[in-house]
Amino acid sequence: MTGLLLVNLLVFLGLAWLVRTQQRAGHSLSRQVLIGLILGVGFGFLLHLVYVDQSEVIAKTLAWTQVVGGGYVSLLKMIVMPLVLVSMLSAVVKLDRSGSLGKISLTTISILLVTTMIAALIGILVSAGFGLSAEGLTQGVREAQQLEQLGVREAAVQNLTLPQMILSFIPTNPFADLTGARSTSIIAVVIFAILLGLAARHVMHEKPELERGIRGAVEIAQSVVMRLVKMVMALTPYGILALMTKVVASSSWTDILNLLSFIVASYVAIALMFVVHGLLVGLVGVNPIQYFKRVWPVLTFAFSSRSSAATIPLNVEAQIDKLNVPPAIANLSASFGATIGQNGCAGIYPAMLAVMVAPSAGINPMDIHFILSLIGVVAISSFGIAGVGGGATFAALIVLPTMGLNIAVVALLISIEPLIDMARTALNVSGSMTAGTLTSRILGSSKDESSEVLPSGQESA
């Protein structure tokens, strides 16, 4: 056992060294991430193939490789709240007109909700096109246990009303929200930072002699946090290598084959929604191909980490550097997009499940009233969905009971959640970046004086 584990870890270190050579050669982050992704998939498949009857070897190997993968994700999560707080504070303080903030927020949230509604419609049509049904799924012992656990979660969310969701966004203890104590903590921190920024603007107006000091302090905090972001981002290829190794090596091929049709349908729906994103950015004058090339590293990390929240630092940096989006819009769209209007987790997934379950409840899923009701419920329930792995399950637990449908199918699909959730998370993040890009073009804004908010030495796009 010890010998095999040592060999596996030496191979992993060798792959990490290959990634390091790409960094030393000065290749782009996109290329480094792609190489890390390929090496991770290959190594994970090799572990799964060689140790097919020795799961304990795989488990021990992944425990060590996850020091890299899990450590990288933890570092990203570490900087999320400081980044959101300082960046939003800086964005508000630097706004030319205080009224711009409300316009930016309203436009961004509207785009997120509209794209989520489009995603729900695509999920409905794809499910119907593939003829997906929950009636053919077999409920085993493992699923029954999972269903019992889900029943507890359902009881906690099914009575959640829209006013309660709105109230959950308001910070009562910003220090607790900075620890991520709630699923809506990110939005609460955004609101706190906006209010703090507005207070700072009032102070600058009332006491002009303090304006220089306030702006200087905010700029210093912004520069320090962005430098920290750059330091953590340099670890992205290694994180991708370890994360993809774990995903591929720990996947259950039996589960995947049994539910292959659902997986294929999910990826078709997700691919179609990516096309929609491309069309939307194309409508505002952005080349879709160039758009996806520029955001590729961000989508890759989202794919492997399954966390929209952890991707916020990469998301903001890519929007500012690569897409020429102003910092205020980039920070708002990334932060809102992590908990509002997630196209994949809160849009496509619950809509597909509802269509699958509807026939067993005697409902025609293609009835126009059912479709319109489902799209509306999906849009409303998309507020406050946690931007972490498993957020789609939470969304389904809200949508299905609201539509009067059974939640058993949610438990039945948990076994393949990680595989589908990777692509869904990438779509969520793409949706937030699309919202930022559209908001920037619709409001006629572009990044100006970007050197003030970019890490030192970083090029402007």
**Amino acid in the structure at residue 405:** L
Higher per-residue pLDDT: 392 or 111: 111
> Residue 145: its pLDDT value, please?
46
pLDDT at 460 over 50: no
**Amino acid in the structure at residue 406:** N
Higher per-residue pLDDT: 15 or 226: 15
> Residue 409: its pLDDT value, please?
67
Higher per-residue pLDDT: 145 or 296: 296
pLDDT in tens, 187-206: 788 889 889 988 998 999 89
pLDDT at 97 over 60: no
**Residue 238, token pair as written in the block:** 């290694």
Tell me the DSSP string of 360-419.
GGT--TT-HHHHHHHHHHHHHHTTT--SSTTHHHHHHHHHHHHTT---HHHHHTGGGHHH
pLDDT at 458 over 50: no
* Pairwise CA distance, residues 349 & 9, whole Å: 37
- Give mean pLDDT, residues 20-41: 83
- Short-list 111, 132, 149, CA closest to 351: 132
Which residues have a Cβ under 8 Å from the Cβ of 71 and sit 6 or more positions away? 239
Please give the CATH topology (third level) of the domain spanning 2-445.
Answer: Proton glutamate symport protein (1.10.3860)
Mean pLDDT, the chain, rounded, equals 80
Instruction: Quickly state the pLDDT bin for 223 (edges 50, 70, 90).
Output: confident
Q: In Å, what is the CA distance from 226 to each residue of 83, 291, 296?
A: 8, 23, 20
- Short-list 288, 286, 283, CA closest to 325: 286
pLDDT in tens, 402-450: 787 776 666 566 656 667 888 998 999 999 999 999 999 998 865 543 3
> Residue 120: its pLDDT value, please?
94
The pTM of this model reads: 0.68
